[in-house]
Structure 1
Amino acid sequence: MFRTLTFTLTMIKTLFFILGTGFLLTTLSILSISEAAVIAVDYGTNWFKVGLVKPGIPLDIVLNSDSKRKTPSVITIRGEERIYGTDAVNLGARFPFNTYFSLKQIIGRLADDKYVQAYQSIFPNKIIPDPLRGTILFQHNETTTFSIEELLAMQLSYARELAEATAHESIKDVVITVPPYYNQFERQAILDAANIAGLHVLSLINDETAVGLNYAITHFSSFTEEPQYHIFYDMGAGSTKASLISFKTVEMKDVGRFNKTVINMDVISIGYDKTLGGQEIDIRLRSYLAEQFDKTYEGKLKKSIFKSPRAMTRLLKEANRVKQILSANTETVASLESLHEERDFRLTITRSELEAMIVDLVKRVNGPIQDVLNNAKMTLANVNSCVLVGGGVRVPVIQSKIKEIVGEDKIAQNVNGDEAAVLGAAFRGAGLSRQFKVKEIKIKDIASYPIKVDYESELKESEDGSMKNKIFRTILFDEYTSVGTRKIMSFKRTSDFNFSINYGNLNENILDDFGPTDIATAKVTGLSDIVKEHNDNGIEQPKVKVTLQLSDSGIVSVIDAIATIEHQTISDKIKTFFGVNNKSDEALKEVPFSDEESTPSDNASQSIPGENNTQTNDTEQIQKKTESIPLNLEVEYVGIKPMGINEKDAAIRRLRAMDETDHRRRAREEARNNLESFVYNMQDFLSDQIVIKVSTDKQRKELETKSSETSEWLYGEGEDASIESLRTRLHDLRSLEKPIVYRRDEHTRRPEAVDTIQSAINNTREFVEKIKANTTGERYHTDEELDKLLNVCNKAEKWLDEKIIEQDKIEPHVDPVLTTADIERMLREIEREFIIVATKKPPKKKVTPPVTNDSENTNNVNNTDSDPKSTTTHVEETPAKHDEL
């Protein structure tokens, strides 16, 4: 619609400001790095949340298609159609074998794992082992299987689609939350799934580390140089975790002479219970409901309700609903119609009954808290607060138990228990992307399990003359080692060798449900050839340095292997009989294979057992030349292997094909909805009084007939119509509607447009008259400029009067001769000439210094000559402004 022009200088300045700002925003958008947005996915057992960070958009949660801030972690696949979230949950009872719940519980596990067996006792999906990796495959139907990584990739891809719909741009970078107890295989499975989904993982982040980061953001001003200790206790659907985190501020030197305040956030220790969570409460309540159903209809059922996957799936959903109600009420009713064999079910349940079912679970609530304190060698007296997170802590008996353990005065619920993790992860993503400037928070996160390296020494002659080697074991990364750490192992060897990377020092409780402990075997080759090649050049025994990394995501990998060779040259001295001890700050001590493992010092220089460590005489002068040669490094992953390149490529192709099918289906649904909506609204359109006025009976009849025919076709033959057919039908209808809509809009908008241009003409003439009548100062606008502006107004007025007369002569159902587009074009001509006049700046005048007598002039000249720093100041006079401007 037309904007009313108030022609004053204030409005012109405002106009310029708006135009300038718009131009600036446009320029910044053009200069912005493409695909600058970053997302975070807090993927839980029952729900996932998506956080978004984008330039110009505050860090926030992405809404799903239901305008909710969290989405069920569920997917249903029917034929070529994939359904996510709440719709998938609702379909779970009808298609339990093709609906996949709680994948987080079994990702990165072997098919015969005890967690997988527990999963199969809850959900009816058929699981078979992957013939190549031994991992989980879901038998979807007779011909189709899905790996768990593929199913997770679909959900991650869906999360990205939701974010892209909000950000209006393509997104690649993501941070994903994981439980701190996830091992190498579980973390790698998450990375593989993200890779299949087309996402680039900036980092995995532990759940409570993300929550702690969000806490640091929201409580920045409360931290001091003295460390604060907080326990973050998170009971989710699948597990319970606790982390002890310290916060303190540190003053650091900033650019120039300034200092800045930085928060140090250190994760000190963790504790967890992998099976203590809200879902276990749901499962127990479901079993109770199923038992009561069988008891109610005892002797009347063909088979127990426990034998019906559909009924048990519905009961699990109802159990979750009942649990939530009992968190706020002492009594409720479980009610389901036609639950099993067409029989209804209704049962009253009290909170006390539910609490009686979970007495043993309540006793386990203290475990993670006690573990986190014991591991840190601290007591509750040292802890400032216990921050509660997760849906499980809302159960009254659970919350009461936690208060009993830590004391009610230490209980804190000052973070958003549902969204703290995803918001913290999104903040982490913003910092890692380097495309955002964020508050500096230095994070020190830790690994949960120690990692060791096993290897054999080279063959040496024993006392009995036989050749033997020894097995050595080194703890490379201790339990609670900081992630993002690199270490170098140093060996003195003359031949190719192997070493293995494993989890070590795991107690029996951890080993019972840990899964495989072997991570990888590394083979270093090329060393034997190097030694042979340089054998005649007087080299010493080569030193091999192998670099290993524990990434920010908690993944251990072997980076490279390099042989360092030292050539000795003799300068005026006889070569010493003894060898030279080449110590390295990065050397790791070899420890004989035994029950007691030794942890190498990160910085201490240590010798290798069995080596000649005698120093040379200080008077000996030996010059050395060092040469570094890369060695061949082959790493074979064992335990649970990551997905291979061929497997990933096949999964990516399959998902892309399914994506294309989804896009076509959604496009067809959109085309059908658009056509259906058009037909539905046509009756109101044709009965509109203005539409009747600007159209003929024939035009309306033709449109009505065509609309009715389309309606009949749409609910008959059109049920299976192609996208092209639907779009063609809509195009034909709109071609009949378009001329009528055009005349209707012109008829409606024309009066306001005429008023606008007439007002502009009158205001412009008044503006010019005030300038000509101004006698308070010298006028700097020429008559030619002012007359040109008036001529434009006169031309516009004449044109408008003629067009109004022509328009009044034609019928409303005929296309208008006076259009709003023409009026707006004429209005722009007036505005353009007005801006030229209104923004003209007055000329600047220089004021001549007052005339003085000769003696004063002489003194001034002398003073100027004597003082080279003196200058003559010219004062500029500001001309008087028009009152109106």
Structure 2
Amino acid sequence: MKYYFLVLITLIALFALSLIEAAVIAIDYGTDWFKVALVKPGIPLDIVLNRDSKRKTQSALTIRGEERIYGSDAVNLGARFPLNTYFSIKKVLGRLVDDQSIKDYQSVFPNKIIPDPIRGTVVFQHNETTTFTAEEILAMQFSHAKEQAEAAAQEAIKDVVITVPSYYNQFERQAILDAAELAGLHVLSLINDVTAVGLNYAISHHNSFTEEPQYHVFYDMGAGSTKACLISFKTSNVNDVGRFNKTIINLDVLSVGYDRSLGGQEFDIRLQRHFAEEFNKKFSGKLKSSIFTSERAMTRLYKEANRIKQILSANTDAIASLENLHEEHDFRLPITRRDLENMTADLRKRVGGPIKAALDNAKLTLASIKSCVLVGGGVRVPSIQAELKEIVGEDKIAQNVNGDEAAVLGAAFRGAGLSRQFKVKEIKVKDITPYPIEVNHSSEPKESEDGISKSKEYHTVLFNQFTAVGTRKIMSFPRTSDFNFLLNYAIPDEVTKDFGPTNIAITKITGLTAAIKQFNDVGVERPKVKVTLQLSESGIVSATEAIATIEHQSFTDKFKSFFGVNGNKSEESIKEVPLPDETTSSSVNASEPTLETNKTQANDTEPTQKQTKIETINLNLEVEYVGIKPLGKNEKDESIKRLRAMDNSDLQRRTREEARNNLESFVYRVRDFLQNEVVLQVSTESQRAELSSKLSETSDWLYEEGEEAQTVEFKTRLNNLKLLEQPIAYRREERIKLPNAIFKIKAVINSTRDFVDEIKTNTTAENRYHTDEELDKLLSVCGKVEEWLNEKLELQGKTPPHVNPSLVTIDIDKKLNEIEREFLILVSKKPPRKPKIIAKTTDTKTTKVDEQSTSSEGSSTTEFVSQSTATPMAESKKPEQSTTTKTKHEEL
């Protein structure tokens, strides 16, 4: 019984927890900005506002000591603390330190980067004793996004969908997943950002799709990169509950094209360097050092370049201006839109590359697409828009989605569907991976004629380019001992320069050799090892299961073979067949790869069928990451411990600031409060003087010793001040509210008495259903309340105003409730039911009542009788009348 009770309590707790964590968020984390969307039962899907009531937050973080500053505040601090402010973390995730992309990053941002001693990835040297991995910096920003959402949802949040660029490889995607785990988030799925835009488009344009596919290109130029995604939309009918069908939307991503380094940030960098060169040129004879050597000055120029770019997107000219930029020299430079276009002419030539790649990969032309939907901040640059119009045609340019928020809203919709806690419009999404993935392995060693064991190398493409994510494959390996295979990206050389490592992981299959040894005493056919490999919805490839199927002879069959009975043998040659093409739907698993087996008999006599047994053995999977290793368990535990300590420090700091602000605002408020006219009436001079003195003392303390005080001292001082202020505030409130309360209770007493008098004097005995006892009880309650009120009013008249009143509003409310309770009992009493009157028709010529006849030859009379005296003939008509009524209702 005790065990049952514990189990029941546990289930209730888990159910309650599932309700608490019902909300789902989406994070669209970009190079310059991130957005958060929330979906929660009872709350429409929408963007979460940050602490500044903005719909997006800048992707920047400043760390000063134990304090972390996010968003626009971090950007403003970046010029003062450039080494401790982190921008554009998205560019360094899942990359080795010696990658060209990291060198490009360091040419713009002054943060000191060192390699991780184990993984070779980016580690920021924050100061002499502190370092942060890129995943930790991102996790802090994810935690900040999580706090924003929890403040809006008023509950704890775990589940999240995060957008990533479609060109992200496994290492970059894994870095996002690791950062989310460090932030305490459970990732339902990663989703390609442009796919999320397409999903948002499908939601808002669902009425425009038919069974004929529509092709749209979604062109997204963000701050750091540019992507073009070709998506097909169409409707289809599928089985619903029972015999019914329903119409769903199919969203199929056909191909993608991208440029990893073409984005709005490149325009900022060109402007920044132009400003720096002009500054050096202007003050060439007056500078001790080049402005390029000043981290603060270059950071300020980068921020100014972004501001100028936005101005030139709407105007033809602007003026860059910064005071005391470098070595006490001010900077001021006029610039025109034409200047910006000239210095970025080479970038415009790259604008059409992603579109061309997406169409070529899908073997479609521009004539096939219905529109090119533009999203992202980069497409706001006039020269970019002009280039796109020239490439695809102005008639096909569309901006019919919110370019800033479409991705995060689409991701939130995806999260709502994946959580299965929300009923959403059914849209079947088929997303893809942009890179082919292959398996490299060696065959079982065989001894050649020269006595040397040799193996044959195999390179099998497991997932082709643009394979649907969520696909699972099963590979069969004919093996008799433990082996391993390599998963890697099979990409051309021209892609690898921007790609990073291509080898993903070596998977070791163990336990097979030991299993084979168990069958040494019996005949064993060559075992087949089936390995399940999965390309997850997040685009992560992994081996999930390995099973060996061993077919062996029974002991009897082995005994016969020993004496040469049924001694025919067969030889088996095994050839690997290329994997079949994947299905187009992510919901259907791909076909299992097959093995062709050719058997040739030693003689023409068909051997007698052997008695065999089949054993299935689960094998062990050991994964060794060889490209870029994800964060290990120990590393994660250490990072989580450190980040939680920083979270607690932030919480303590915010709590202290809140306590200090509460005390400071209380001092200012009560100073004004003491000058109130009513306060002067309900307090004595000495009471006000005492409180005023304490306020002055606290104000002086705040700006002296209070600068170093702890939270508890702020709260203690606030409570002590409230002990002096609250009695005066209470008397003031009662003095203001009491007249209205007295007027109300007197009015209720008078109205109640009038109600009773009306019943007693103007209601006949036949129509009256309240007894005198009930009415007198109500009058008695009114009388007692009135007597109490008069006593209290008399006592109140003798009470000085600076003393707590004898008559208070809360007591008046209680007395009102007494009258209301008795009144409701009286008025809720239902009157007795009156007898129903039923029409009785009697024909003078017959004893039957023909209800359908309206023109009888004899005269007919109608009389009304009560239900209790109705004749059987009248009662017999009831079913017939009921049927007629029902028929009429059905016709209506």
> Could you tell me which residue of structure 2 aligns to residue 292 of structure 1?
278
SS at 1:520 equivalent? strand
SS at 2:332 equivalent? strand
Return the match for 2:407 from 413, 417, 421: 421
> Could you tell me which residue of structure 2 aligns to residue 555 of structure 1?
540
Pick which of 761-770 and 615-624 moved more: 615-624
Pick which of 813-822 and 610-619 moved more: 610-619
Return the match for 1:489 from 475, 483, 487: 475
Distance 1:551 1:580, change over 3 A: farther
Instruction: State how far apart, in whole Å, the 2-side matches of 1:553 and 1:260 are.
Output: 28
Instruction: State how far apart, in whole Å, the 2-side matches of 1:576 and 1:248 are.
Output: 62
Return the match for 2:801 from 790, 802, 812: 812
Instruction: State how far apart, in whole Å, the 2-side matches of 1:762 and 1:249 are.
Output: 70
Distance 1:340 1:461, change over 3 A: same
CA displacement 1:275-299 (0-9 Å, x = unmatched): 0000000000000111111111120
Aligned AA (1:728) = T
Instruction: State how far apart, in whole Å, the 2-side matches of 1:172 and 1:30 are.
Output: 15
> Could you tell me which residue of structure 2 aligns to residue 480 of structure 1?
466
- Contact conserved, 1:561 with 1:630, CA < 8 A, in 2? yes
Instruction: State how far apart, in whole Å, the 2-side matches of 1:575 and 1:395 are.
Output: 82
SS at 2:467 equivalent? coil
- Contact conserved, 2:568 with 2:607, CA < 8 A, in 1? no
SS at 2:432 equivalent? coil
* 1:765 CA drift (Å): 3.8
Instruction: State how far apart, in whole Å, the 1-side matches of 2:395 and 2:753 are.
Output: 75
* 1:852 CA drift (Å): 10
Instruction: State how far apart, in whole Å, the 2-side matches of 1:519 and 1:126 are.
Output: 28
* 1:566 CA drift (Å): 2.9
> Could you tell me which residue of structure 2 aligns to residue 213 of structure 1?
199
Aligned AA (2:643) = L
> Could you tell me which residue of structure 1 aligns to residue 644 of structure 2?
656
Distance 1:318 1:361, change over 3 A: same
> Could you tell me which residue of structure 1 aligns to residue 861 of structure 2?
none
Alignment of 1:123-142 (within 5 A): 123-142=109-128
Instruction: State how far apart, in whole Å, the 1-side matches of 2:685 and 2:241 are.
Output: 77
Instruction: State how far apart, in whole Å, the 2-side matches of 1:424 and 1:777 are.
Output: 70
Instruction: State how far apart, in whole Å, the 2-side matches of 1:580 and 1:843 are.
Output: 100
Alignment partner of 1:87 is 2:73: yes
* 1:435 CA drift (Å): 1.3
Pick which of 624-633 and 554-563 moved more: 624-633
Structure 2 residue runs of 5 or longer lacking an equivalent are 1-14, 583-589, 852-871, 884-892
Return the match for 1:107 from 86, 93, 96: 93
CA displacement 1:583-624 (0-9 Å, x = unmatched): 9xxxxx637xxxxxx544556676546864779999966665
* 1:508 CA drift (Å): 2.4
Percent of aligned positions with the same letter in both sequences? 65
CA displacement 1:217-254 (0-9 Å, x = unmatched): 11122222222111110000000001011111222222
* 1:631 CA drift (Å): 0.7
> Could you tell me which residue of structure 1 aligns to residue 423 of structure 2?
437
Return the match for 1:696 from 667, 684, 691: 684
Instruction: State how far apart, in whole Å, the 1-side matches of 2:419 and 2:268 are.
Output: 39
Alignment partner of 1:258 is 2:257: no
> Could you tell me which residue of structure 2 aligns to residue 566 of structure 1?
551
Return the match for 2:791 from 802, 805, 809: 802
Alignment partner of 1:227 is 2:213: yes
* 1:767 CA drift (Å): 4.3
Instruction: State how far apart, in whole Å, the 1-side matches of 2:478 and 2:129 are.
Output: 54
SS at 1:171 equivalent? coil
Instruction: State how far apart, in whole Å, the 2-side matches of 1:520 and 1:473 are.
Output: 15
- Contact conserved, 1:847 with 1:874, CA < 8 A, in 2? no
Pick which of 765-774 and 474-483 moved more: 765-774
* 1:567 CA drift (Å): 4.3
> Could you tell me which residue of structure 1 aligns to residue 10 of structure 2?
none
> Could you tell me which residue of structure 2 aligns to residue 536 of structure 1?
521
Instruction: State how far apart, in whole Å, the 2-side matches of 1:799 and 1:132 are.
Output: 83
Pick which of 797-806 and 173-182 moved more: 797-806
Return the match for 1:523 from 508, 518, 521: 508
Distance 1:560 1:766, change over 3 A: farther
Distance 1:764 1:453, change over 3 A: farther
CA displacement 1:608-664 (0-9 Å, x = unmatched): 468647799999666654332101111111110000111011100100111111111
Aligned AA (2:815) = M
Distance 1:582 1:69, change over 3 A: farther
Structure 1 residue runs of 5 or longer lacking an equivalent are 1-28, 584-588, 592-597, 876-885
Aligned AA (2:23) = A
Return the match for 2:817 from 813, 828, 834: 828
Pick which of 222-231 and 765-774 moved more: 765-774
Instruction: State how far apart, in whole Å, the 2-side matches of 1:316 and 1:624 are.
Output: 75
Instruction: State how far apart, in whole Å, the 2-side matches of 1:202 and 1:340 are.
Output: 48
Alignment of 1:98-247 (within 5 A): 98-247=84-233
- Contact conserved, 1:476 with 1:600, CA < 8 A, in 2? no
Alignment of 1:504-523 (within 5 A): 504=490, 506-523=491-508
RMSD after superposition? 3.1
Return the match for 2:620 from 623, 632, 636: 632
- Contact conserved, 1:474 with 1:600, CA < 8 A, in 2? no
Pick which of 519-528 and 273-282 moved more: 519-528
Alignment of 1:669-708 (within 5 A): 669-708=657-696
Aligned AA (1:553) = S
Distance 1:179 1:661, change over 3 A: same
Distance 1:336 1:851, change over 3 A: closer
Distance 1:580 1:827, change over 3 A: farther
Distance 1:790 1:539, change over 3 A: farther
Aligned AA (2:195) = T
Instruction: State how far apart, in whole Å, the 1-side matches of 2:836 and 2:36 are.
Output: 67
Distance 1:777 1:202, change over 3 A: farther
- Contact conserved, 1:581 with 1:614, CA < 8 A, in 2? no
SS at 1:554 equivalent? coil
SS at 1:295 equivalent? helix
Distance 1:758 1:216, change over 3 A: farther
Structure number with larger C-alpha Rg: 2
> Could you tell me which residue of structure 1 aligns to residue 865 of structure 2?
none
Instruction: State how far apart, in whole Å, the 1-side matches of 2:361 and 2:739 are.
Output: 79
Instruction: State how far apart, in whole Å, the 1-side matches of 2:649 and 2:297 are.
Output: 31
Instruction: State how far apart, in whole Å, the 2-side matches of 1:42 and 1:668 are.
Output: 32
Instruction: State how far apart, in whole Å, the 2-side matches of 1:193 and 1:145 are.
Output: 16
Instruction: State how far apart, in whole Å, the 2-side matches of 1:870 and 1:45 are.
Output: 79
- Contact conserved, 1:475 with 1:600, CA < 8 A, in 2? no
SS at 2:433 equivalent? coil
> Could you tell me which residue of structure 1 aligns to residue 887 of structure 2?
none
How many pairs does the alignment contain? Answer: 831
CA displacement 1:28-49 (0-9 Å, x = unmatched): x989811111111110000111
Alignment partner of 1:56 is 2:45: no
Distance 1:297 1:538, change over 3 A: same
Instruction: State how far apart, in whole Å, the 2-side matches of 1:762 and 1:580 are.
Output: 111
Aligned AA (1:525) = T
> Could you tell me which residue of structure 1 aligns to residue 654 of structure 2?
666
* 1:374 CA drift (Å): 0.4
Instruction: State how far apart, in whole Å, the 2-side matches of 1:126 and 1:654 are.
Output: 21
Aligned AA (2:741) = A
CA displacement 1:344-396 (0-9 Å, x = unmatched): 11111100000001000001000000011001100111111111000000000
* 1:328 CA drift (Å): 0.4
Instruction: State how far apart, in whole Å, the 2-side matches of 1:303 and 1:721 are.
Output: 44
Alignment partner of 1:746 is 2:737: no
Pick which of 412-421 and 742-751 moved more: 742-751
Alignment of 1:330-369 (within 5 A): 330-369=316-355
